[in-house]
Each structure stands twice: as C-alpha cells, then as structure tokens.
Amino acid sequence: MTTIAGNLQQVKERLWRACDGASRGSAEVTLLAVSKTFGPDAVRQAHAAGQTAFGENYVQEGVEKIALVAESLPRAAIEWHCIGPVQSNKTRLVAAQFDWVQSVDRLKIAQRLSEQRPPELPPLNVCLQVNVDGGPNKAGVPPAELPALAEAVAALPRLRLRGLMCIPEPAPDFESQRALFALARAAYDDLRARGHTLDTLSMGMSEDLEAAVAAGATMVRVGRAVFGARAPKPVASPAA
C-alpha cells in the first residue's frame, strides 16, 4: 500500500535523476506539493515526511486548509503558494493568508495584492504566469507583454517579484515538452538580462517534471504523484 511519505520519496528520486541527467545539482530544484482537494491530514502527513511547501489552486479551499493545518502545526512550518487564478474579490484573502502567489498575469491583481498585504507580514512573493504556447483559453500573459508587466509589478510595495510560472498544453513526448518549457526559460532569462533579480522558474508537474528540469525549472509543482489520484467531482443529480 502506497503512502504519501513513500510517494514523496519516489518523486524526490525522480527529481534527483532528472537533475543528474541535466548536469544540475539536486538542490537547484524545489518540490512544491500541490495539495488541492486533499484535506489537512494529507498536508500533515507530507510535512511529517519532510515536505514544507504546498500549493493550492482554489483560494477559499486553501484559506480554510491553512487555518486547519495551523491548529496542529506552527504557521511558519508551512510555506503556502497560491497557484490558481486570482479573482479581484479574492485578493484580500490571498494577500493576508499566502506566502507566494504564482499566478499573477494582470497589473490590477498585483496592485490589489500590494495594497492589501498586511504590513506586519513580509513581502508577498510573486511569480508572473506566462502563456508560452498561446493557448486561447489559458491564463497567463503573452511573452511579449512580460517586460512591461514585470517592470510595473517589481515597483509595487509589499510584493517581491521572484520569477515566472507556466502551465503549457500537454505535449506527447520529452523533447516536445522541453521545447515548450524552453520558451518560459527564454522569457525568464530575458527578464534577468533586463535587471530583474529573479530566482524562480516554476514549471513542470507529475507528467513532465523531467522535461521541465532539463529546461531549467527551479520549482516543480507535483500533486497526483505525491497525494494520489483526486476523487472525481460529484455529478449533480437531475432535477426530479
């Protein structure tokens, strides 16, 4: 019977092999455990196995989970990342409860996060989400618009611009996956060349983390391979 601790070990071994294959040190890549739809007990189990950074896609679910986990673990023991879309009416919750936001793709959202970050907390770490493959239904700023957005976000108080995040369309093989991730790496390198002190390139998930590491990811976001398959959403019963 698999356990979260066992799954974590297997994912770490995949990361070690991927780093070795890319001639990179294993310390160069951080594992973000995506705990969306899993309860606080799953987070506690992963933390007991050494995992400290967790990602949540849904703001309300994440905020409730943060509070529940904090009942048994010090708040500082967990680093919480918001990795899903952030709506204007949720920015205050995100600014107050999370340590990172990886999905900023509009200046309006960044401005609200800056204004609403409590002054007693450290600056909110921010990644800009880039739409590397131009998917029409995907969130993310087009690469051509990144320099202007990065310049504006970096100037906001109470925020710290850390890097980029991307979620490209699924690709059929390693080389196709790496080619997509290389677009994000190129955008990241361009911003660094423009003077931004970035250190985070968040890309790669359970299915394609090896290709992401090969392309230069510094953080991979893994859910299913750590926590197991997510239960399907219940189908609403037809009206009688």
Residue 238 has pLDDT above 60, yes or no: no
Distance separating alpha carbons of residues 151 and 153, to the nearest angstrom = 6
The whole-model pTM stands at 0.94
Domain 4-227 in CATH: superfamily?
Alanine racemase (3.20.20.10)
Confidence grade of residue 138 (pLDDT, cut at 50, 70, 90): confident
237 confidence band (pLDDT: 50, 70, 90): very low
Instruction: Show the tokens assigned to 227.
Output: 């926590």
Domain residue limits, the chain: 4-227
Query: What pLDDT digit, counting tens, does each position of 33-58 carry?
Result: 999 999 999 999 999 999 999 999 99
Residue 119 CA to chain centroid, in angstroms? 24
Q: Are 158 and 119 in contact (CB under 8 A)?
A: yes
